[in-house]
Amino acid sequence: MTSGGIRYEPPADVAEALRVQEELRSRVDLVGPGPTAPTTVAGLDVAYAESGDRLAAAVTVLDAATLAVVDEAVVVGRPAFRYVPGLFAFREMPALLAALDRLTVRPELLVCDGHGLAHPRRFGLACHLGLVTGLPAIGVGKTPLVGEWAEPGPERGAWTPLRDGGEVVGRVLRTRDEVRPVFVSVGHRMSLANAADRVLALTPRYRLPETTRTADRLCRQALAAALA
DNA sequence: GCGACAG
DNA sequence: ATCTTGTCGC
């Protein structure tokens, strides 16, 4: 049980969701620095049915050194909120927490498929998940939501700051040579530099972290099985 | 008012 | 997110 059996009620509407973000944002730990050599790292991802009314949320826990999957859990359910940019977390949170609850191993770090601080109100999915579970968390987005940046160098490891409203909210990080960069931001209890290091440690071969790749495969197959 | 907008 | 044809390359 990773979330400690945390209860999580989705908001009734957009106004309430905004109030919840406003209330929780101040409780995010932006100091970190978080684990530099974690033993286990979890990846979280969600797959949706084309009808849009069903989803599968998966969590995979990897041995941080070998990147082998040591635990996993997946739940099929319904989106808890309609998709609204900036309120994305409310959609997947209940299912992801349910999946986390089914883990046997409590991971030392959560790698989320979406942003953390790189969010219009500095409270993206990674912040929300980290805060609710109490675990260190980072966000790895495939496309930007907010901010401006300069193109990082072409080699793996190159990065540039992602800035929004004058503040650095993340890093645009190249995880593979000559491949489109990813957007890394702090979720909870992590420093930005450590978050970027952890992402590089999870991307020995592909653009996206192994954690999100394994979670992605798991939720897709679970959704297909559930719909069959 | 118009366009942008994680997954 | 999901749909979707072809295409380039290991």
Q: Is pLDDT above 70 for A2?
A: no
Band (A1; pLDDT cuts 50, 70, 90): low
Q: Do the domain assignments include residue A1?
A: no
What's at A196, amino acid-wise?
A: A
User: Residues 65-94, chain A: which have Cβ under 7 A from strand B?
Assistant: 83, 85-89
Q: Do the domain assignments include residue A8?
A: no
Percentage above 90 pLDDT, chain A: 93
CATH number of the domain encompassing residue A48:
3.30.2170.10
Q: Do the domain assignments include residue A7?
A: no
Positions on chain B within 7 A of a protein C-beta:
5-7
Q: Do the domain assignments include residue A2?
A: no
Q: What is the pLDDT of residue A217?
A: 96
Band (A133; pLDDT cuts 50, 70, 90): very high
Q: Do the domain assignments include residue A189?
A: yes
What total number of domains does chain A contain?
A: 1
Shortest-distance nucleotide from A56 CA to C1': C1
**Residues A166-175: pLDDT tens digits?**
999 999 999 9
**CA A16, C1' B1: Å apart?**
27
Q: What is the pLDDT of residue A8?
A: 78
**CA A147, C1' B2: Å apart?**
20
**Residues A85-129: pLDDT tens digits?**
999 999 999 999 999 999 999 999 999 999 999 999 999 999 999
Q: Do the domain assignments include residue A3?
A: no
Q: Which domain holds residue A194?
A: 14-227
d(CA A128, CA A135): 10
Question: From edge to edge, which strands make up the β-sheet containing A167-173?
Answer: A69-77, A55-63, A40-48, A110-112, A137-141, A182-188, A167-173, A159-164
Q: Residue A45 CB closer than 7 angstroms to strand B?
A: yes
Q: Residue A48 CB closer than 7 angstroms to strand C?
A: yes
Residues A56, A226 contacting (CB under 8 angstroms):
yes
Token pair 């072409």 is at which residue? A154
Query: A53 a known binding residue?
Result: no
Q: Is pLDDT above 60 for A3?
A: no
Q: Do the domain assignments include residue A4?
A: no
d(CA A222, CA A211): 17
Q: Do the domain assignments include residue A154?
A: yes
Q: What is the pLDDT of residue A228?
A: 86
Positions on chain C within 7 A of a protein C-beta:
1-3
